[in-house]
Amino acid sequence: MNIIRKGLTGFDLKYLALIFMVMDHIHYFFEFTGKVPIWFSWVGRLAAPLFLFCFIEGFFHTHDRKKYFLKIYVIAVIMGLIRFGFYNVLSFARRGDGFIPENAMLSSFAILFVVLQGIEWIKSKKYFIGITAVVMPIILPFIFALAVYQPDTNAENSTISFFANMINFSILPLHTWIVDGGTATLLEGLALYALSHFKNKNIRVYGYGAFILLRNFGLMMLFHIPFTAYNIFFYAYEWMSVFSITFMLLYNGKRGQGNGKFFYYFYPLHVYVLYGLSILIYAVTR
């Protein structure tokens, strides 16, 4: 009752999201054991929307957007290079079944940040840089697809593709390449940004919840996925992220107390620790 009366701060939401994220990643990295129940992933669906909600709040309220972006972008680039390495030069470090971590949520946030800043520039009548910032991250995957990633067996084009891949995994991430967020995060972030202009918090939060349901069930219809109990609860269960609005509704608009750097360090650290443990467990149990 005390929590309901006082509400949740931004840091409270982040710590909750962190717990949900760890549960989700425990299922993600150790599903192969058959010992981690599916409900770990169900609960984990709440993590990304809460982090995204806090990200949008931070975008509006930070005193230094450039610094805010760089903290996200630098870690995203480093993790992107590591992910590229797993596909190429670090293939020996893959788990025995070939599994590698595809975690790239910060790359998704970096792309979203550029687009949102572009919108802000357009609103400030800085049209050229604003339109460029909005359009380029969205169309970049298609530019690379047409200009670089064309089927060709000659060595020169293979070398170009190698370095293009390195760039697209790191300094110029492509939203269509990101499994952990990507295009979905871009769309949800734009929806939250638009809804954040409503002063009434309930309109923003319930509107976001409606967007989540429409997007996920709409995709099921688009890809002709039957609305069976199995599909809804064990296959296409991304819709469960809608339950994150329960905590968003308790948000009191305050930043709260906490160490902001902790989250930036924890995200990559826990990913690679869990991945390392999964490699050891796989080697022992197989």
Torsion, CA 209, CA 213, CA 215, CA 216, rounded to 10: 130
What gap in Å lies between CA 112 and CA 184, rounded to an integer? Answer: 11
Q: What domain count does the chain have? A: 1
Greater model confidence, 285 or 89 = 285
* Secondary structure element (H or E) that encloses residue 90, with its range: none
Instruction: Supply the mean pLDDT for the chain.
Output: 93
Residues linked to residue 8 through DSSP beta bridges, in sequence order: 251
Quote the percentage of the chain above a pLDDT of 90.
85
Query: Would you state the pLDDT for residue 22?
Result: 98
Judged against a pLDDT cut of 90, whether residue 194 lies above it is answered with yes
pLDDT of residue 149: 83
Q: How far is CA 187 from the centre of its chain?
A: 11
The single-letter code of the amino acid at 250 is L
Residue count (the chain)? 286
148: pLDDT strictly greater than 70:
yes
Task: Copy the structure tokens of residue 17.
Answer: 């999201």
What average pLDDT does the segment 238-244 reach?
Answer: 97
Tell whether the model's pLDDT for residue 258 goes beyond 60.
yes
Residues 29/277, Cβ–Cβ less than 8 Å:
yes
Domain span at residue 157 reads: 2-285
* Helices 201-222/183-195 angle, 10° precision: 150
| Helical residues (DSSP H) of the chain, grouped into ranges | 2-6, 10-30, 39-44, 47-61, 65-87, 105-123, 127-147, 155-169, 183-195, 201-222, 229-230, 245-248, 260-285
| pTM, rounded to two decimals | 0.93
pLDDT band at 260 (very low <50, low <70, confident <90, very high): confident
Give the pLDDT of residue 160: 85
% pLDDT > 70, the chain: 96
pLDDT at 100 over 60: yes
Give the span between the Cα atoms of 119 and 122, in whole angstroms. 5
pLDDT at 203 over 90: yes
Region 1-23 average pLDDT: 87
Q: What are phi and psi of 251, to 5 degrees?
A: -65, 130
